[in-house]
Amino acid sequence: MGLFRSSTGMDPAPIEGVDVILADLDGVVYRGPAPVDNAVESLNSYAQDGVRVGYITNNASRTDESVATHLRDLGLQTQAADIVTSPQAAVHMLREQVEAGALVLVVGGDGLVDELTKAGFRVTRSADDMPDAVVQGFAPDVGWAQLAEASFALARDIPWVATNQDWTIPLERGIAPGNGTLVSAVHTAVAKLPLVAGKPETPLFEAAVERFAAKNPIMIGDRLDTDIKGARAAGIRSALVLTGIDGPKQLIAASPLERPDFILSDLRGLRLPYPKVTVTHPQPEVVEAKVGGEHCVLNGVDLRIRSKGKDRLNLLRAACAAIWNSDKLIYALRIPEHLYQQWDAQS
C-alpha cells in the first residue's frame, strides 16, 4: 500500500500493466515438495495471458534446473532460464572480488557448486587448500564441520559472500532454521560480516530485471524482511501473499521499508480489482482508514474497529493503513488481538 487515495470504489487489479511477475518460491509457490493452494493454477493463467513469470529465490541448495524440474512436476511450464537464484547473484559478486578461476571454499549444496563451476571457479571444501574466497549458502546437510572449515579459511583476510541471510525456511512440516542462522554461526566465530547477494539486497532483483528485460515488474513474496524490503529497495512494486512466513501480526508491525503495495490472501488476488484505501486525519492524533466496507480508527494509541469485520482481509488492510499512516511506534499501540490471532484469509 504505497499510495492511499481518498475516493471510493475499486482500483485496477495489481496485475494490470505488469509485464513480468517475479515470484518467490518457498511459501509462495510451494512448501517443501507440496504446492501452495491456488498457486499453480494462478501462475499458469497469468502466463497464458501473456505475462512473463520468473522465479526469484534465496534458496541456494539446488540448481536452477532442479528447481525448474520441481516446478514442472507441480504443473508449471518452467525452464531453468526462468529461475534466478541467489547463487547466481553470489557468483556475480564474487567476480568483483577475486580473479577468474580462483579457488573458492563452498559451504552449501549443489546449486552453489553448479553456479561456481559454470562461472569457471575452482571449488574446495577444505580450508587447508588456502582458498581465495568463501561462498556460503544453505543446504539441509550443512553441519558443524563445514561451518568450521569456513571459519578456519576466514582467519585469513579473504572475501566472504553469503547467498542470503534468511533466518527461517517454510517447509511442509513447519518453520525451520534458514541460512541466516548458519551465517550467524560463522560470524560468531570469525567476527566478520559477509557480503550478501540475495534478498533483501538488490543484486538478485537487478539480475532478475535484466534477465527478463522487465519494464513494469511486480514482486510476489511471503516475507517482509526479504521479499518486500528487497523489492522496495530495488524500486519494484510488491505484494505480500498470506501463504508463507509473515502474516497479519507481522504486517501490522511492518517498518516503512517493509510495507508492500498490496496485501493478498494468495496468488489469485493478483487478478482481482483492489479495493481503494481511504485514509483521513479528522483530528490530531486520529487516523481513520476505510477499505471496502471495513473501517479502523487509530485514536492516540488505541486501534478501534468501527465495522463488522465480515471481510477479514479488508479489515487487515484497513488496520495496516491506519497504523502505517500514523507516526506511532508499533510497540506503543494497543491493538485488538483478534486482528491477527487465528486469522483465516477465507473467512
The whole-angstrom separation of Cα 170 and Cα 21 is 21
- What DSSP assignment string belongs to 254-300? --GGG--SEEESSGGGGGSPEEPEEEE--STTEEEEEETTEEEEEET
Q: What pLDDT is attached to residue 343?
A: 67
Architecture of the domain defined by 13-58+201-270: 3-Layer(aba) Sandwich (3.40)
Strand partners, 217: 20
- Tell me the C-alpha to C-alpha distance, in Å, between residue 180 and each of 8, 58, 59, 165, 177: 43, 11, 11, 4, 8
Residues 218 and 21: beta-carbon distance below 8 Å? yes
C-alpha cell at 294: 471495513
Identify the segments of the chain with pLDDT beneath 50: 1-8, 345-347
The whole-angstrom separation of Cα 152 and Cα 122 is 19
Q: What pLDDT is attached to residue 342?
A: 62
Q: Same CATH topology for 13-58+201-270 and 87-196?
A: yes
End-to-end CA distance of the chain: 22
Q: Which CATH class is domain 87-196?
A: alpha beta
Helix axes 144-153 and 179-190, enclosed angle (nearest 10): 40
| Nearest alpha carbon to residue 301 among 282, 323, 319, 279 | 323
Residues 92 and 99: beta-carbon distance below 8 Å? no
Catalytic positions are 24, 26
Residues 343 and 314: beta-carbon distance below 8 Å? no
Domain limits, the chain: 13-58+201-270, 87-196, 276-339
C-alpha cell at 123: 571449488
Q: What pLDDT is attached to residue 58?
A: 87
Name the percent of the chain in helix, strand, coil, to the closest 5. Answer: 35, 25, 40
Q: What is the pTM (predicted TM-score) of this model?
A: 0.86
Q: What pLDDT is attached to residue 3?
A: 36
Q: What pLDDT is attached to residue 68?
A: 96
Q: What pLDDT is attached to residue 150?
A: 98
